[in-house]
Every structure is written in C-alpha cells, then in structure tokens.
C-alpha cells in the first residue's frame, strides 16, 4: 500500500506526523507511508523543516491520500500551480482531510454533498466553500473521510488501516502508540469513533 501524507509549507506537525507514525506500524506488511510535498522541503508552522519523501504527484497513484493542515492552507487552496498537480480518484483511492486539509478537499471538488469535519479556525472557510461542517471529530462516507482537531489524526489513521487492512491491524497500531495504562481504553475509543463509518 502506498500512502501519501500531503504536507505543505506552514504545515502542522501533529497532523502530518501522528498519522504517518501510526500508519508506519504497517511497514512490515509492505505499507509505504510517505511525506509528500509540492517542493523539495517544507517548513512547519513552528519552524521544523523536513525533506519531501515524495513529490506531490505521488498522491495521484497512492492507495490513500491524507491532506494535512497548516497555517497556509487557505493560500494553497487558491494556488492552481499546486492544485493542478493533483488528479485524485475517490472511486479508487481513500482520500482524507485533516483540519484545514478539508478545505483542500472541498476546492478540489472531492466532497460534493458530503458533510465534513474540520478545525474551528478553518470552519468558516469550509462553510463558505459550500460544505456543511459537522460539530464532531470524524466523519466518513464511502472513500472520503475528514477529521477536526490535531489529535483527531489518529482517527484517520485508524480508518485507513481498517479499510485497507483490517480492524485488528488498526487496533494493534493504536495500541502501540497509546499511553501506558490507557492502551485498551484508547483502542476502544478510536474504534468506537471510526467503526460506524467502515
């Protein structure tokens, strides 16, 4: 499985790295989880610079694509030189939006009539783009999923692993990263959020 974590200039570290780390628990099963960027490197909202593992076009053939968020997402949503490099197919790919990444799903026409989740800052922009925003952390319909709040990225990872592998693999991945003393409770909670949408 090829998984693209779309990571742009001004990105939020939690949104890109939590999901990437959880899904990399599937590496032994052949999963290839890659930080995917429009340039050779991007710098986060807190000044952390990372090198792209893959160019943006990697997303076009990936099995799953996760749009991370950041402080420049609104600007990126109006940048055709970036958006025109993406050609995604929700019939063949799992496509996710994390926080302001949901805005990019909307402007790319991937949400259609699907309601979505996002963070509180991005909410008015997503509404302005014609999407109904839900007051919840996670929602999915068919192959499209969105999450709101940085730590909700674990729900997207749980959903992707459950869809492309199975629930047992998702449980194992979440169990590994969950806090000691809270592992079973964290697994149960993540699955309770995601399971209605599988």
Rounded distance between C-alpha atoms, residue 114 and residue 161, angstroms: 22
Q: Yes or no: is domain 2-197 CATH 2.40.10.230?
A: no
For residue 122, the model assigns a pLDDT of 95
Enter the pTM of the model. Answer: 0.96
Query: What are the residue boundaries of the structural domains of the chain, listed by start?
Result: 2-197
Phi and psi at residue 65, to the nearest 5° = -130, 125
Contact call for residues 109 and 83 (beta carbons, < 8 A): no
> pLDDT tens, position by position, for the chain (198 residues)?
999 999 999 999 999 999 999 999 999 999 999 999 999 999 999 999 999 999 999 999 999 999 999 999 999 999 999 999 999 999 999 999 999 999 999 999 999 889 999 999 999 999 999 999 999 999 999 999 999 999 999 999 999 999 999 999 999 999 999 999 999 999 999 999 999 999
| Nearest C-alpha neighbor of 126 from the set 150, 149, 101 | 101
For residue 112, the model assigns a pLDDT of 87
Question: Which residue matches tokens 């509180």?
Answer: 120
Query: In the chain, which residue ranges form alpha helices assigned H by DSSP?
Result: 13-23, 73-76, 80-83, 101-107, 123-128, 153-164, 167-177, 183-194
Beta-bridge partner residues of 42: 50
Burial of 184 (0-12, 13-18, 19+ CB in 10 A): exposed
């Amino acid at each position: 499985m090829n998984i693209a974590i779309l990571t742009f200039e001004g990105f939020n570290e939690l949104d890109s790295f939590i999901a990437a780390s959880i899904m990399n628990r599937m590496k032994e099963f052949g999963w290839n989880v890659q930080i995917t960027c429009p340039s050779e490197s991007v710098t986060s909202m807190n000044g952390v610079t990372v090198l792209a593992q893959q160019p943006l076009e990697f997303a076009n053939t990936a099995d799953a694509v996760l749009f991370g968020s950041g402080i420049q997402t609104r600007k990126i949503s109006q940048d055709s030189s970036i958006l025109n490099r993406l050609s995604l197919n929700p019939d063949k790919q799992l496509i996710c939006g994390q926080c302001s990444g949901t805005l990019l799903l909307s402007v790319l026409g991937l949400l259609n009539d699907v309601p979505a989740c996002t963070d509180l800052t991005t909410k008015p922009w997503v509404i302005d783009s014609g999407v109904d925003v839900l007051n919840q952390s996670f929602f999915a319909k068919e192959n499209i999923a969105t999450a709101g709040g940085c730590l909700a990225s674990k729900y997207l990872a749980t959903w992707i692993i459950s869809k492309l592998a199975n629930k047992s693999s998702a449980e194992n991945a979440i169990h590994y990263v969950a806090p000691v003393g809270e592992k079973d409770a964290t697994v149960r909670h993540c699955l309770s959020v995601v399971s209605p949408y599988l």
